[in-house]
Amino acid sequence: MAAPQPGAVRPGGRTARVREAVLRAAGDTLVEKGFDALDLAEIARVAEVGKTTVYRRWGTPGTLAADLLDEMAESSLPRARTGSVDQDLRDNARLVVKTLTDPRQGRLFKALIAASLCNEQAAQALYRFYAVRIDEWAGCITDAVERGELPAGTDPRRVIAAVSAPLYYAFLNTGEPLNDAAADRAAAGALAAARAGVFSL
């Protein structure tokens, strides 16, 4: 069995408290100053944790950013189970909007996305984050196919990705308002495409 990557162990007790403090300090730094300011010694000082502990467990700023993304994926809300694919997808889109427009979470996501462009560890963690969240919500589409709301063979992951794609595009590129109306449009567009068979396997 391969040895775990730095920051990948999820124990409890004091070690869990250390991880929580370090990730909080890392998140604050990313929000306030960006990835370039993610200095492990400074993070240790702010988190009031031994510098040796931080270097031994995480080793690099990229590993620390990756662990932060993994924590965000693990702690995100579970998918909706409303019994209606229309409502499930609206709930998904509104959760994305709520996250991206949160004063802290939105800035943190921008910093982590920027980090992924220059750091391979952060990039891989971002891919894992999206994969975890898409897999979580893909069950909405599987259930909808079983209920006969969507065509057999609809690719669940592609539908969920299509819900969030226009929202991230607005967030990162156009600056268009992100609100419930934008969420509902994104959900409706993905659902219409799915019903038309665009995402069939």
**pLDDT tens digits, residue range 41-93?**
999 999 999 999 999 999 999 999 989 988 888 888 889 999 999 999 999 99
Parts of the chain belonging to CATH 1.10.357.10: 76-195
3-state class of 200 per DSSP? strand
- Does 155 score more than 80 pLDDT? yes
- Residue 177's alpha-carbon distances to 98, 159, 183, in angstroms, are 12, 22, 10
CA distance 102 to 20: 20
Tokens of 18: 């250390």
| Helix ranges (DSSP H) in the chain | 13-33, 40-47, 51-57, 61-75, 85-101, 103-116, 120-147, 156-169, 180-195
CA distance 125 to 62: 9
Q: What is the pLDDT of residue 12?
A: 55
State which fold the 76-195 domain adopts: Tetracycline Repressor; domain 2 (1.10.357)
Q: What is the pLDDT of residue 73?
A: 85
Parts of the chain belonging to CATH 1.10.10.60: 13-69
First to last CA, the chain: 34
pTM here is 0.85
Q: What is the pLDDT of residue 121?
A: 87
CA distance 140 to 80: 7
- Does 141 score more than 60 pLDDT? yes
3-state class of 77 per DSSP? coil
Compute how many other C-beta atoms are within 10 angstroms of the C-beta atom of residue 90. Answer: 21
In the CATH scheme, what is the homologous superfamily, with its name and number, of domain 13-69?
A: Homeodomain-like (1.10.10.60)
pLDDT tier for residue 190 given thresholds of 50, 70 and 90 = very high
